């Protein structure tokens, strides 16, 4: 997630020089072709009415606007889901820590509580890894060996961890450490985690209809060429500059929308899963009164946070 309110010119240039170059080539080619066709004196006129780029421009503005809206909605929905995960994690930790009562010895129940809360941190780490497609297996730090061996047998690791949580919950309910009302509240939290996991997977796995993206780019290039051509008559070689400049506005607007389409990828514009995961970890460890608390995730280059 971008965090700096200042924009790094270098990273902007490194991100846009490629399509900028293609644009220059396209406008030069369009201009050259125009002059060549004109020199043939075969056709009456090669002037393109300036209406054409105007109409195309309006249509494109709508189209790009539509894409940007949907992309932003995906991004913001992803952020909301992980925000809800933070809230539910805190509530879950609080409920496990304060509402569970050991019927044997306080010591034993304390261990059980820590295990459930640790396991939840492992769930968040596992979910992050499955969304990011990484395999650092950091979740193992919060599971005992027996547990992580078991969950890695299933294809969906975070889901397998939730199974363990449900099993534990049932065990505590059975033992009478929690009553039916507390069972209800804690089970609601596990259902919530399952929902947030599934919603994240939905956004990750549902490709935004590729045709939108493809045609938008096709239409932008048609537009860039047509605006260059329509400007030749009247502005001469300046039309190349006009094509580049106006095209740049449309292309860039399109690109920054597209950068939000896959909010869970490990890119600067993505949701800062590392940061959120760490924040949950810190909140829960602080509540447990642990002494070794990891530091918050750091900002990279003063620009973004992963």
Considering only 18-26, 50-58, 116-124, 126-134, which stretch makes contact with its own copies by CB under 8 A? 50-58
**Nearest distance, CB of residue 147 and its own copies, angstroms:** 15
Determine, following the binding rule CB under 8 A, whether residue 133 of this chain makes contact with its own copies: no
Per CB under 8 A, which of residues 168..197 are in contact with its own copies?
A: 169-170, 174, 179-185, 187, 190-191, 194-195, 197
- Contact residue for its own copies among 39, 106, 167, 291 (CB under 8 A): 167
Number of residues counted as binding its own copies (CB under 8 A): 114
User: Measured from the CB atom, is 118 or 272 closer to its own copies?
Assistant: 272
**Nearest distance, CB of residue 60 and its own copies, angstroms:** 8
Encoded one letter per residue, x for contact with its own copies by CB under 8 A and - for no contact, window 2-41 reads: xxxxxx----x-----------------------------
User: Measured from the CB atom, is 122 or 231 closer to its own copies?
Assistant: 231
**Nearest distance, CB of residue 188 and its own copies, angstroms:** 8
- Contact residue for its own copies among 36, 144, 238, 267 (CB under 8 A): 238
With CA atoms as reference, report the closest residue to 150 among 134, 135, 165.
165
User: Measured from the CB atom, is 63 or 123 closer to its own copies?
Assistant: 63
Measured CA to CA, the distance from residue 43 to residue 60 in angstroms comes to 29
**Nearest distance, CB of residue 304 and its own copies, angstroms:** 9
Is-contact 80 266, C-beta < 8 A?
no
Q: CB under 8 Å to 305, separation ≥6 — which residues? A: 1, 3, 272, 274, 275, 297, 298, 299
- Contact residue for its own copies among 21, 59, 267, 300 (CB under 8 A): 59
Per CB under 8 A, which of residues 267..306 are in contact with its own copies?
A: 269, 282-283, 286-287
**Nearest distance, CB of residue 56 and its own copies, angstroms:** 6
Q: CB under 8 Å to 82, separation ≥6 — which residues? A: 196, 200, 271, 273, 276
Considering only 17-25, 123-131, 140-148, 167-175, which stretch makes contact with its own copies by CB under 8 A? 167-175
User: Measured from the CB atom, is 143 or 224 closer to its own copies?
Assistant: 224
**Nearest distance, CB of residue 171 and its own copies, angstroms:** 9
Considering only 47-55, 108-116, 128-136, 139-147, which stretch makes contact with its own copies by CB under 8 A? 47-55
Considering only 21-29, 77-85, 108-116, 118-126, which stretch makes contact with its own copies by CB under 8 A? 77-85
């Amino acid at each position: 997630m971008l965090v700096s309110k200042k924009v790094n010119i270098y990273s902007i240039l490194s991100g846009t020089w490629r399509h900028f170059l293609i644009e220059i080539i396209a406008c030069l080619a369009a201009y050259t072709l125009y002059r060549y066709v004109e020199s043939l004196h075969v056709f009456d006129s090669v002037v393109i009415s300036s209406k054409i780029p105007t109409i195309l421009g309006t249509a494109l503005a709508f189209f790009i606007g539509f894409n940007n809206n949907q992309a932003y909605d995906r991004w913001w929905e992803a952020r909301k889901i992980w925000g809800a995960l933070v809230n539910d994690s805190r509530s879950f930790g609080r409920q496990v820590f304060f509402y569970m009562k050991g019927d044997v010895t306080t010591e034993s129940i304390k261990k059980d509580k820590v295990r459930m809360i640790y396991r939840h941190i492992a769930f968040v780490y596992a979910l992050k890894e499955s969304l990011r497609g990484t395999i650092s297996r950091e979740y193992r730090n919060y599971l005992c060996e027996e547990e992580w061996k078991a969950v890695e047998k299933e294809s969906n690791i975070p889901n397998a961890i939730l199974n363990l949580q449900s099993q534990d919950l049932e065990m505590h309910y059975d033992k009478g450490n929690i009553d039916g009302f507390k069972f209800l509240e804690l089970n609601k939290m596990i259902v919530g985690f399952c929902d947030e996991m599934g919603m994240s997977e939905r956004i990750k796995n549902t490709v935004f209809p590729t045709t939108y993206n493809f045609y938008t780019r096709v239409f932008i290039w048609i537009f860039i060429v047509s605006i260059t051509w329509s400007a030749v008559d009247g502005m001469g070689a300046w039309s190349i500059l006009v094509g580049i400049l106006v095209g740049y506005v449309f292309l860039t607007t399109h690109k920054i929308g597209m950068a939000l389409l896959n909010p869970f990828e490990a890119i600067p514009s993505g949701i800062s899963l590392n940061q959120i995961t760490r924040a949950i970890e810190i909140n829960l460890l602080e509540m447990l009164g642990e002494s070794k608390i990891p530091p918050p995730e750091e900002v990279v280059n003063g620009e973004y946070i992963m």
